[in-house]
Structure 1
């Protein structure tokens, strides 16, 4: 039999112990040799959890296994937990393999290929999932207690510190670590605080450039605004290090009451840290001495104007605060060596963009041409969208049938209504809801309002004139509203600007005009159509 080997470890620590990838591969190759099988593929996945399928090597293996014909006849794993820890998901993947003629074997947990074997595999997976959750819970509890006792749980120490081993042994006999001051890096961190508090009035960017030019690098790399800001804002530099702050699954901060405070050696004293905090607040735009209206009012091209290097452009002012410019954020954060674009006078750029929108893009013949192009594009997409909807509806029907079979099995007593069955029902419900939403989105996406098909030239001219008047009015708020909704991007070079926008936004604006709402600030684009057509 032609077989594929799949080896996986969740962490580097696991790889260093008895579940190392070479050990898994060796045992599986010995098993294949003893049973007369031929290994045609090896899939190795280091550092990936089996609680879900977000594993690129696993997905590649499944793709090869589900090909027509499959690249191999069976997948071999060391244990079922290497394949999947979630019982429901594992069962789904195994049935997919089975339908394509591919088997799944564990060399350490052999089972038969009949219904009894499937039952045993489900029980094994259920306990694997339970064990994984319990291990995660106990590991989290142990790490939080470790932090409370002053030990460091991380792998790489923050800048200014080094992780040193203690005499206290932890898990698997490893020595626990604590953070100690790295003398050279700590001196650089202190210098950052001194420069920020000095009478020179240096900001984050000036400090970053100064350190980089002086050869005082951030562990071999140039300093930038974000790194300097981190040094000046993180409480660890005054001796307070917090663990369990961020939830890796949601990528959001946990509530502060769940944070664990660890006292570490301070690089700067609390008074110096507080001085920096107050100075940062006083320098923030909200508290600057420039007139509030200047800073509070949104930039006309905020969010859409881009530098030729691809980065966004933002507000910059002259030393007096009188003149305002658009400046590349890369140049602002990293210096002129990163981007050599010029600062662009804001008033002049705003005026050029507004005039081009009003007099060229919103000209009646240009609008009519864009609407015709949009009609052609949407017509061309209808067949593709119809096929996609049909496929989604077939998937929804399959989920309905799956739900019906499961309910019948419960009613007849074949399947008990236990926690595992309840989870299966919940998974089906979630899948049905997701498919229903996708079908609805596909059916409404890209459709033009029916009235657009019958636009008269006089209506197009009326719409263009009304919109031009709004853009050229003195009301910057309305002009900004239309620009943010109609324009995707304004890409500027030293001597030219390319405006890119959405055909569909204009189409719906025309529809609003026909419905008698064109004098209001538009709210149509983002809620109306997820896809956007380029217009430049």
Structure 2
């Protein structure tokens, strides 16, 4: 076991007996020797407080832990590592993440034992209690600020600047805000407004191009007609996180950029559009969430076109096409499905009967090797026990015991690594199993409903990158969609 020894003294503890660096170092070294562990490194903090985890040697140790160079962290006392319950809980979480044990040389804090794990549970409970108390105090303070018409933190929204903790209008950005509301009331969609803003050279407060989410946030923020809203959040589809009785709205707090009536008209338009959310329209698209554009890498979503004659065209459209950042043509769902089934046929045909007849032979050989390795591992455990008995009876010396135990550990490590590689191979889906699933999917595909096809596609496919070559765009009757990449789960 590779052990890191963490040693710390703060300025006022330099002269205290038992806390000096040499004393801690000697005691910890003796402890490691008694446990037959290996010292990986010493991490010594001299004259450093434990008020937080921003300590050079502690950070160096955490880097070695994340690099999986350490198995155990050993300290003289718990307060050498930290004096904060929250910091301790976070450190123990990090240790657990990298399978590192924690132990104190003078206390019962040992995560390798049952009582040590009980301690960890108690620390977690204390940390949660402290976090919840802190959250309640912060929430109460913010609510009091809001009721006093004071802004409870957060960066200023687009259109405003923060001066002496108060919002003042940024006239350049305010022009963009008014333009967005005017265009939305004229019937333009959020994506179209984002494209127009970008073409006019407008940028967000961070200097980025406008997207639909930025337009949505502006159209839903009552700060633009002077109101302070707190503890209210809404998703893009209109779903509220907090109930109305939980949030606060105070009017006349900020300087105005638009009229209240303008804001309310925009909200009415948004409410009328919500019943026709795209997710409801495209819920039966077989490959939604799986398709990627071969030209730009963006996802492709379902898109429906209704003709006056009543004829409906179902397509997949690259999302960057809407933002005029990609020239990928719309792909009719029928041609995408046809390309998918043809790809399944190709894979099924390429699987020869010769490969099927020989598939079980290597599997039997691997199982036999697996059983032999497990038997050898059991023999190693028996030898270890016999050596310990021989040492206790005085038949061999300590140095010989350590040497022979070390040899056994090296062999055990090699055997365990081989066993793990076999376990990974057994869990992974073999090529033969994948082909069998593909053949079964292709067999029932013509008889499945759109919902069943979508379910099968999601179980089988992880990602499908598609494109329509330019020469195929003029072919109206039999377009050939190309599948550039087909990745399976």
Q: Into which bin does the TM-score normalised by the smaller protein fall?
A: 0.5 to 0.7
- Which residue is 1:243 aligned to? 230
Does the CA contact (< 8 Å) of 1:147 and 1:243 recur in 2? Answer: yes
Measured in 2, the distance between the counterparts of 1:472 and 1:127 equals 59
How do 1:16-95 and structure 2 match up within 5 A? 28=10, 35=20, 59-60=62-63, 67=70, 80-81=83-84, 84=87, 86=89
Cross-structure match for 1:137 = 136
Instruction: Tell me which residue corresponds to 2:474.
Output: none
Aligned to 1:181: 169
State which of 331, 338, 341 in structure 1 corresponds to 2:321.
331
Measure, in 1, the Cα distance between the counterparts of 2:354 and 2:85.
59
Distance verdict in 2 for CA 1:478–1:207, change over 3 Å: same
User: Quick one: which of 288, 292, 295 aligns to 1:306?
Assistant: 292
Q: Which has the larger radius of gyration?
A: 2
Where does 1:48-447 land on structure 2 (aligned, <5 Å)?
Answer: 59-60=62-63, 67=70, 80-81=83-84, 84=87, 86=89, 96-98=101-103, 113=106, 133-165=132-164, 177-198=165-186, 201-219=187-205, 220-245=207-232, 253-263=241-251, 264-265=253-254, 266-284=256-274, 286=276, 295=281, 298-308=284-294, 309-316=296-303, 323-332=313-322, 334-336=323-325, 339-357=326-344, 359-363=345-349, 365=351, 446=427
Is the CA contact (8 Å cut-off) linking 1:5 and 1:76 kept in structure 2? no
Partners in 1 of 2:443 and 2:67 — Cα distance? 59
Quick check: 2:219–2:263 contact (8 Å CA) kept in 1? Answer: yes
Asked if the contact 1:311/1:329 (under 8 Å) is kept, the reply is yes
Deviations 1:31-70 (A, max 9, x none): 6799567995779xxxx999xxxx9988537558982697
User: Are 2:443 and 1:472 equivalent residues in the alignment?
Assistant: no
**Cα pair 2:230 2:248 within 8 Å, conserved:** yes
Aligned length: 368
Could you say if the C-alpha distance between residues 152 and 77 of structure 1 is closer, same or farther in structure 2, counting changes exceeding 3 Å? farther
Structure 1 CA distance, aligned partners of 2:358 and 2:52? 51
Mapped to 2, the partners of 1:499 and 1:374 lie a distance apart of: 30
Q: CA deviation at 1:230?
A: 1.6
CA–CA distance in structure 2, aligned partners of residues 375 and 481 of structure 1: 34
1:491 aligned residue: 465
Please, which moves more after superposition, 313-322 or 489-498?
313-322
SS at match of 1:472: helix
The separation in 2 between residues aligned to 1:217 and 1:297, in whole angstroms, is: 34
Aligned to 2:415: none
Within 2, Cα distance between the matches of 1:257 and 1:285?
24
Encode CA deviations 1:153-175: one digit per residue, 9 max, x unaligned.
Answer: 2231121223332xxxxxxxxxx
Q: By how many angstroms is 1:253 displaced?
A: 3.5
When the two structures are superposed, what TM-score results if normalisation uses the length of structure 1?
0.52
Inter-CA distance 479–125: structure 2 relative to 1 (3 Å threshold): closer
Alpha-carbon distance between aligned partners in 1 of 2:250 and 2:140, rounded to the nearest angstrom: 15
Q: Is the 8 A contact 1:5 1:75 kept in 2?
A: no
Could you say if the C-alpha distance between residues 69 and 469 of structure 1 is closer, same or farther in structure 2, counting changes exceeding 3 Å? closer
Change over 3 Å in CA distance of 1:373–1:65 after alignment to 2: closer
CA shift, 1:489, in A, is 2.0
Structure 1: segments with no counterpart, 5+ residues: 7-26, 104-112, 166-176, 391-441, 503-531
Q: Secondary structure at the match of 1:80?
A: coil
In 1, the alpha carbon distance for the partners of 2:329 and 2:448 equals 28
Cα deviation code 1:98-121 (max 9, x no counterpart): 36xxx7xxxxxxxxx4689xxxx9
Answer yes or no: is the 8 Å Cα contact 2:85–2:123 preserved in 1: no
Alignment of 1:443-454 (within 5 A): 446=427
Relative to structure 1, the CA distance from residue 87 to residue 350 in structure 2 (aligned partners, 3 Å threshold; closer, same or farther) is: closer
Distance 1:136 1:326, change over 3 A: closer
Query: Which SS does the other structure have where 1:192 is aligned?
Result: helix
Alpha-carbon distance, 1:315 to partner: 2.4
Residues 276, 366 of structure 1: CA spacing in aligned structure 2 closer, same or farther, 3 A cutoff? farther
CA contact (8 A) 1:305 1:489 kept: yes
CA distance in 2, matches of 1:65, 1:477: 46
User: What is the alpha-carbon root mean square deviation over aligned residues?
Assistant: 5.6
Cα gap change, 1:302/1:68 in structure 2, threshold over 3 Å: closer, same or farther?
A: closer
